[in-house]
Structure 1
């Protein structure tokens, strides 16, 4: 009988604790719905312990709040925890949303040139704000590459993920045109003076540019050859005027490397 009573006491304690936790979550859920620190579809950053998680609120139930994170997984947070956590709601403020992407480049390329190319690619991306100005920093060396971090701002948290993808695409285009190929893990022994990458001159050959541009896709190879033979390369310094609005001319400019404003 004593053992039975002791067991019953443990069960009662467990049930009581479970009920207490659920009641706490329920009341916290009521508080969240009344005070509305965040709503479904809001973009938030929440601190859980020492870790911050960012994402969009997809559901608020009587027990939990579910967050679709930028990494693509669903994070379920008990309402009792969410109600006491430090939360930054991007939809409740005019504050801009900062985003970042990491790019790895073969460390054979000078950092100054790489940073310029990455910044040019970022500035040419739609939805990336020109002010505050994007920045690019060399972050660290890894075993087979140099890692750079691009920081930029968007004015809507909902555009953050799509904007990151757009920046990656623009970076690929600019690196390709600059003759910089993605780094690869090397297992073989190198006996040469280094890895020979595609040069800028090769990447900017007229025929190669014509094949990469959508506007020239409908053209035949004969027409592309005709145009490529008449293309001329020009280099402009930073701040130099390329063309002015209202100028009369019959030329088409193709930007191989850099950005114009």
Structure 2
């Protein structure tokens, strides 16, 4: 059903209903062009009434963005741009979808809601204009179609962004104080740097694991399962390490770590760590002592005033010996 003043989409044509009579329906486009469509023809067409049941309706605008920019960062920028555009309604909220990986760009679609469709040109103009300025401020490039020629050359491996941060963090981490600067450099150079998007799980409780992570940028939530629910217990920030027990002993993951926003992390694998330990066997005892101390802290033994110093020392020796055996077994030493 439609009435005078409604906006219709008939085929690929948008127009406002100006007159309905027994012979035809008269539409007027945004360019002021009048179209008389015979009623026997219009009933054969697919008609979308943009003003039914109310004039609030969704429209979509697409934009291509550089492949190097993380999708969640792009979505946040496009959402901000569209929300502040003239004629875009606050509710329903603006949504942004990644819809395609094209030859030269990642294609995003902005879905927004507006009122009277007569303002479509001004609204699309406002959305696109805001998008340009927002992406410019965020240093996010809108690429144009190009052809890139790649020449294969055997060049030295480039220093990846984040390696210096990782070196500084590892040098301050007690578990790695037994390593020399050269060994830490080797550890960092051979480890992987990865992005995790908002809501992605970096590790999952109960999963097998043989690596640890350094959170270089972003924040992540630590969750543990209790009575079938995931309970938040901590928040990790830039500079925090996690997963070290799995790296050093092969234990299953004791918690789930989920990215709160886009995160940049370094993952140190068992193979990389094993190579460093084989070059420094003296580190095994120090690592065993450190792991034993952490286990005692977790169990509350060090805080328990009822436990004598002799008992604490005995427990420390017992745990150290246990971890030493596990380390030797895990790394096949």
TM normalised by structure 2 equals: 0.39
- Which protein shows a greater Rg? 2
TM normalised by structure 1 equals: 0.49
Whose strand fraction is larger, Structure 1's or Structure 2's? 2
